[in-house]
Structure formats: C-alpha cells, structure tokens
Structure 1
Amino acid sequence: MKKILVIVAVLAAAAIAAYFVLQNPLGRLVKLAVEEFGPEMTQAAVRVSSVNISATDGRGALSGLFLGNPKGFKSDYALKAGTVKIELEPASLAKDVVVIRRILIDAPQIGYEKAGNITNFDAIQRNVEAYLGAKGGKGEKPKQESGKRMIIDSFVIRNARVNYNDMLELKLPDIELRNVGKKTGGATSAQVVKAIIAELNTQLAIALAKAAVIGSVGGVVVGAGAALKGLFDK
C-alpha cells in the first residue's frame, strides 16, 4: 500500500511539474536564450520580464524588453519596450530554419548617448560585430553559431521616442527591415541582431542630424543645435 501511495505521489508531483513547464515551453526557451546570449553579443545587460509564444498558432509577445549600455556610458538604458509582438510559422519550429512572419516593437524608449567619439549604439554595434568575428585579426574566421537559423519576413520598430544625452527628445521615423536572412537561407541570432542594430544606429544618426538642421534654421526644436553639437564634434 505504501509503495502504491509513493508511486501516486511521484506521478502527481511529475504531473504538476510538467503542467507548469509545458504551459509555455517555447516562451521559456526564448527568454533563456535572450538573457544568455544577448549580453554576450552586446556586452550590455539584456533581459525580458516574460515571453509567451503559442506553438499552435505562432503568435506571442515578449514583455519588458530591456537593453542596457556597454561600459563607458552613463544613461540607464539603450532601449526598453513594454511589449514586443511576435508572429512565427509554427511548422518551421521543427526545421533548421525558423520562419518569423513579423516582429513588432511598438513605442520603445531609446536612450542615445555620446561618450568620447562614439555613441552607445556605435559601441553595441561594434560589440556584436566582434562577437561574430567580423573585425577579428588577419586570418581569423567569423564566429559560427550552432543551433537554428531564422528568416524574418518583417521586423518593425514604430512610434519610438529618442532621448539624446538627456537634452533632446524626438520621435524616430518608423523602421522596417524585410526578409532578414532570406538571401542566405537563414541567419544566426547574432547576424539578425547585427542587422537590426546597424539599421537602428543609421536611422538614429539621420534623425538627430535632421533635428540639428531644423533647430539651426528655424528654432523649431528648442535647443537642438546645442544639444547635438557634441554629436558631430570630432
């Protein structure tokens, strides 16, 4: 009788554990991957509060996305977003290349800072490139990642607000990257991050340059010229 009770207790405990683990196994794996490899790639804090993705229809979201700054920068964050919506192709989860239909980051807050001759996004971009081995020494091969690769049909950042050096705030034009990784039959996570950071870095520089021009010719953006002076000083 005791053996039967022990077996029942063990099975019950296993069932309870399985219930909590299987509630959102994909989301848990994504959260683990983001928080483990994100800091390695960017040399900055990367975390998410939670991830929920349905393996049935491929829809889900990351909540509380946070990207910190590399050493040498004072601002609290480089990017933070309340919600990141994701839509992927469920059938591709069992394949080597995962197809992500859409990633949407809506209304993120971006902290753009210059320290010395580089900005925080310059530093993050360089760190990701170094992770890939793109700027290694002569004869050094780019770092190869194991695991699944991905194709992203559409990656969108919209309604972003940018704070530059705590002196200037402006709205960043919407950004969309299409068919990321498609030409190569799939990209690694680091290659995807590199493409996103590079485009975001470019658009930030353009937006701030435009703000400087507007401020200098019409004073539409109060203090823009002074706030951006340091960005273009050599």
Structure 2
Amino acid sequence: MKKILIALTAIVLLIVAGLVYVYVNLDNIIKATIEEAGTRVTLADVTVDNVKIETTQNTASIGGLVVGNPDGFTTDYAFSLGNISVRLDGSTLTSDTIRVIEVIVDAPSVTYELGQGSSNIATIQRNVESFVQRVSGPTGAGGADGDSGDTAADDGSGTKVVIDNLYVRNGQVSVSAAMLQGKKLSSSLPEIHLKDIGKAEGGATPAKVAEEVITALNAAVFKSVSSLNVDGLLQGVGDLSKGVTGLIGGAAVGTGGAVKNGAGALEGAVKGLFGATPTK
C-alpha cells in the first residue's frame, strides 16, 4: 500500500509539473504552433516576435507576425501583420467549434512583388488553396493519399473555428519588381471587414480560415495596386509602365478568389486546431 501511495503521489506531482510547465510556457507554445502551422500552409517562412495570452480575460495579442516569401521571390517578406488582437468566447474552448468574437489586424505592411509571371501574394494564395485541397480531398474527408501529417491537423475531423468579425486596418502596400530598379510604389490598403467566417458550415478548419483571409487580402492588395498611377510614379525610371501594368494584370489572374479559467483549456484548443502537440 505504501508503494502504491508513493507511485500515485509521483504521478500527481508529474501532472502538476506538466500543468505548471504549460502555464509558464503557454505563450511560447502558441508562438511555435503559429510558426509551424503557418509555414506548412503557406510554404513561406512564418515567424512571430511575441505572443501574450490573458487567460482570465479570454484575449490574446500577437506581435511581429511575418509571412516571408515563397521560393523565387527576393523581398524581405510578403506580409508583416503589425499588431493582432484576438478576443475569444472562453466557454467554447473545450468544444469542437471555437468561437472567436473579434480579430483585429492593425497596421499591416504588404510587399507585392512582381515576378515569376505572377506575384508573391498570388503564389501564397495558391499554396494555401493547394494545401486545403490536399488535406480535404475530393469528398472533403481527407486526401486520397492519407497524409496523416496534414489531415490530422486540418481535415473535417479536427477542431473548427467561427470568427464573428475580422478587421484589417491601417495597412500599407508596397510594389516591388526588378524592372523598377530598386524603387517601390506605395499605396494604402483598403480596410477589410470579414464577418461570420465559418458560420454557415458550422465551423471552418484553420486552413480554410487562412484561405479566406488571404483571398480577401489578395483582392484588397490588387485593388490598391491597380489604383496606383503607374505612369506618373515611374517617371525617371524609364518607359516601363506598360510592362509593369501588364505584369500586374497577369499576376491577378486566378485571384478572387480565456481561455476558460486556465491554460489547460487553451492548450487543448491549440492542439485540437493544429492536430499535434506544439514544441517549445
């Protein structure tokens, strides 16, 4: 009996130690999860400076989230998403569908790089769409190849999300291309407001949410780029406006398309969203 009590005590201590570890390292765990999942979905390096979770208020903030460029593009990044604030419905964190009340992306910076017969933004969108198709398969129930690494995270069997409101505000777009000889064209990004993401289907996978958000960003970026006075802005660079305008048009083809009183619930929700235990 004494040995059994000692063993039970040891198990309890291990559980407590594990919970303490998760609580202390929760921000780093979520940071690593965002970077891993984002890189896998976009095929571009995703990095995050910091994550701050307020477990008692069901809020989170993400700073310095940067989506790099796919292979073949040379600018520093495609998206630098400024400050992101998230407000959750904590009562849903242990359910199959998590409700996000509001997401605000403030002061993002977008670099629209022309090249490869397309743009970096359109390429990222295609990568996300390809990922969603791969993990969903023709029937929406998992890819035909049975890729457990992806389907476990993002097919219909995992935790889903409904986002009531998502705002992208105070954004800036810069256009870069080799033919501009180092110069950049800049414009403001129209405000984006998406409502009820995933609501109609009873919840969307994280990859589907990413697809919808990037599609909206791509459309806003192209609208902003199209409004630039290319002829005027390229004075002194040479007679390149025709080439730039044509390339922008070509690049646009195909685009259009807390945490419940503790760290445990949020950690479980994160695992459910991305299908694996994130590493520190």
Structure 1 contact 160–172 (Cα < 8 Å) conserved: yes
Cα 1:188–1:15 shift into 2, 3 Å = closer
1:232 equivalent in alignment to 2:249: yes
Aligned-partner Cα distance in 2 for 1:41–1:84: 19
Give the counterpart letter for 1:223 in structure 2: L
After superposition, give the CA deviation of every residue in 1:32-62 in whole Å (9 maximum; x if it has no partner): 3211111111000011122122232211201
After superposition, give the CA deviation of every residue in 1:52-96 in whole Å (9 maximum; x if it has no partner): 222322112011101001001111100113321111111111111
Which residue does 2:101 correspond to in 1? 101
Offset at residue 158 of structure 1 (A): 0.7
Secondary structure of 1:94 counterpart: coil
1:22 equivalent in alignment to 2:23: yes
Structure 1 contact 89–99 (Cα < 8 Å) conserved: yes
Which residue does 2:175 correspond to in 1? 164
Alignment map for 1:127-142 (pairs within 5 Å) = 127-133=127-133
TM-score (ref. length: structure 2): 0.68
TM-score (ref. length: structure 1): 0.81
Offset at residue 28 of structure 1 (A): 3.8
Aligned-partner Cα distance in 2 for 1:96–1:127: 26
Aligned-partner Cα distance in 2 for 1:98–1:15: 26
Structure 1 contact 153–179 (Cα < 8 Å) conserved: yes
Which residue does 2:228 correspond to in 1? 211
Which residue does 1:198 correspond to in 2? 215
Higher share in strand? 1
Offset at residue 210 of structure 1 (A): 1.7
Give the counterpart letter for 2:22 in structure 1: V
Aligned-partner Cα distance in 2 for 1:186–1:223: 46
Secondary structure of 1:44 counterpart: coil
Which residue does 1:5 correspond to in 2? none
Which residue does 2:159 correspond to in 1? 148
Give the counterpart letter for 2:208 in structure 1: Q
Which residue does 2:256 correspond to in 1? none
Structure 1 contact 161–172 (Cα < 8 Å) conserved: yes
Gaps of 5+ in 2: 1-11, 144-150, 177-182, 252-280
1:42 equivalent in alignment to 2:53: no
Cα 1:112–1:62 shift into 2, 3 Å = same
Percent of residue pairs identical: 29
1:188 equivalent in alignment to 2:205: yes
Calculate the aligned-residue CA RMSD, in Å: 3.1
Looking at both structures, which has the greater relative contact order when contacts are Cα pairs under 8 Å and sequence separation is at least 6? 2
Structure 1 contact 150–189 (Cα < 8 Å) conserved: yes
Count of residues in Structure 1 that have an aligned counterpart in Structure 2: 217
